[in-house]
Amino acid sequence: MQPSIELARGGTEVTEELSEALTEKKSSLEFFPESRAIFLKKNGSLPVLGEPGFY
């Protein structure tokens, strides 16, 4: 079950729920303002569209 992600209108606010999920999974967060997309980095690589970890 993947955590739900909610972003503020500007697309830069990380919710407490997401922050906790990142801490639990020991993943890092990368934010790309150009596309307003969030990727959870796992093992130093970005997940591909459609794979778990891509939102």
Q: Per-residue DSSP letters for 4-54?
A: P----TTS-PPPHHHHHHHHHHT-EEEEETTTTEEEEEBTTBPPPTTSTTB
d(CA 40, CA 22): 8
pLDDT tens per residue across span 15-47? 666 666 666 655 555 555 555 555 555 555 555
pLDDT of residue 17: 67
Question: Does the global pTM surpass 0.75?
Answer: no
The domain ranges of the chain are 1-55
Q: How far is CA 32 from CA 1, 2, 24, 35, in A?
A: 24, 20, 22, 6
38: tokens are: 């969030």
